[in-house]
Structure 1
């Protein structure tokens, strides 16, 4: 398990986070900084690389007194835990070490760092750079969200640091869920792993299901090749025997050409056998000619033995299981335990 992780960065239009002059380039204004402060206040920990501490000596604290007071009123520390990773020493007089609310990881793999932070109770992690740290989180698939403030500035100097270094990030298009003007910067809200994003939408959809002792709560979303939602549904949405995938597909004309290149997401493996309806959800998906299916959790054998993944794969559909989200899907209902 690891925390939900948000990368936060401000950059120029041409992708630089500073210039090469030795004086700090100001990219964000007061309004954007207030947004960042709000994000800090909702985080359990803030992580920066050791080079950021050496170069900028950041305090990594919540600036707003009201936000700090709100944290204390909720039984939380006044400021998030400060976290860094290093392979060599740091100045003990740095602001990072101003109190005991910090942790330093030395020569630890990033996967172990986030696992240990989760064990320390960190559920929401904010990562503020620098380039090497942001690169590592994205290259290892450990970032859930990116808050990217783009300033109306051009740096144009290859010697200056960029938002990211070279790495193999894959070629998936990210999910863009909003662009907001904050002062004179444009803030992009991006989700780097589209399958993870849409499965979490399914999990949230599953929370809408009317309660039942004899059926699982399930959510489903159909997404086209350009990453746009076509339809969604949840179990028992229209009647007490309806399934999520069936309900989502009932909202779409099955001759819609977008379905031929779409992905259907579900919090649970689609059913392969069914007594309450003529067709199982796997059969619905096959008949809709949707070429790709992604799910989070294998169907438990509480009610039937599920073989939806095998049935779909046998029909030539690309089936992707995401066990990294199984616990989140399972947590919706005690029926999954």
Structure 2
């Protein structure tokens, strides 16, 4: 399943509030930042807000610039991005501006919520029932696989942002920090309490926009278990990019690998045949850069564009065995090894049989294959 790129966007006060407790919406951004948000909206396939934000703010969620809308149409896109909301209860006001402005709209809800909404919303609104509960992974999978959404902007509220970030499903966080304090204990905050991904996020950009400061961050801490996180996808994409650096070979795959600690610290990266060694594998080269006694390895994740080899002729120890000996317990890969050089290769099976969590993200398979296209036989030849 292809999850969209999930961008969380919000304006906050210096003390971390989204609003105050007054009856009117507190405007934290200025004209320059409103225009920046409009530009970001225009570059997305869909914009999502939670039902709570729909009730309290009554937003329209439009691309306001006529020029940007025209550019979307010229590019073969709808004039407006898809508007999305999520409500488990189905308690939504049919008179809200959300439904009566802009282009297509979709509601994700439960079976019970869908019954409640039946016949209450404008006929063109798509109501998608996801079963007894609304799971964010199911929402993102439907948006990616069915709606074709590749870039999703999430504009609130705080509960939605908190859930997506805590579940490791946010690819990027864009915060516009306004030069004022709210100071009200009951006012809504950007994030609530809970268990967030560990470690520090990676800063992509910081710049002034009028009198607010835009900060862009991406999470980098790997996921856990068999569920892939947004950070897992980012690191695997980097491993696939590393594979393109491999010296060409007709007798070996081009593979990239990155080893990342549980807190998101990059421990090592490497690619096949790195440093002039004609037979070194990517995972092997990356592990060789680390002290075998490094305590971070036990909770680390290895990202490899091709599954670690289970058998090889060039060295005694295949990469799957090296990973096991290093104590790594989680591997994320894009592509299962074909029979090009070794038949019935099953590095993933070897690792899994020893208790290692192996996550395969097939949406990255084509990227992993690209540096190896010369190894594929021409059509009609075996």
Change (3 A) 1:122 1:298: closer
Could you say what secondary structure the match of 2:174 adopts?
A: strand
Could you say what secondary structure the match of 1:46 adopts?
A: strand
Give the total of aligned pairs: 329
Query: How far did 1:249 drift?
Result: 4.2
Could you say what secondary structure the match of 1:173 adopts?
A: coil
Any stretches of 5+ residues in structure 2 without a counterpart?
111-128, 224-231, 377-382
1:178 corresponds to = 204
Change (3 A) 1:30 1:189: farther
On the 8 A contact 1:297/1:321 being kept in 2, the answer is: no
2:362 corresponds to = 326
Matches within 5 A, 1:128-143: 128-143=155-170
2:218 corresponds to = 190
On the 8 A contact 2:86/2:109 being kept in 1, the answer is: yes
Matched, 1:127 2:127: no
- 1:213-258 deviation line (CA, Å, top 9, x unaligned): 76444321133565333432223555664422234345x3x4487x
Could you say what secondary structure the match of 2:305 adopts?
A: strand
Query: How far did 1:311 drift?
Result: 5.6
| Aligned alpha-carbon RMSD (Å) | 3.4
2:310 corresponds to = 272
TM-score calculated relative to the size of structure 1: 0.80
Could you say what secondary structure the match of 2:184 adopts?
A: coil
1:116 corresponds to = 142
Any stretches of 5+ residues in structure 1 without a counterpart?
none
State the alpha-carbon separation in 1 of the partners of residues 163 and 304 from structure 2: 29
1:104 corresponds to = 107
Query: How far did 1:104 drift?
Result: 2.7
> Which of 296, 310, 325 is matched with 1:261 structurally?
296
State the alpha-carbon separation in 1 of the partners of residues 261 and 107 from structure 2: 43
> Which of 227, 234, 237 is matched with 2:271 structurally?
234
Could you say what secondary structure the match of 2:54 adopts?
A: helix
Change (3 A) 1:140 1:284: closer
State the alpha-carbon separation in 1 of the partners of residues 279 and 42 from structure 2: 43
1:43 corresponds to = 44
2:243 corresponds to = 206
Change (3 A) 1:229 1:100: closer
1:160 corresponds to = 187
State the alpha-carbon separation in 1 of the partners of residues 251 and 154 from structure 2: 42
TM-score calculated relative to the size of structure 2: 0.72
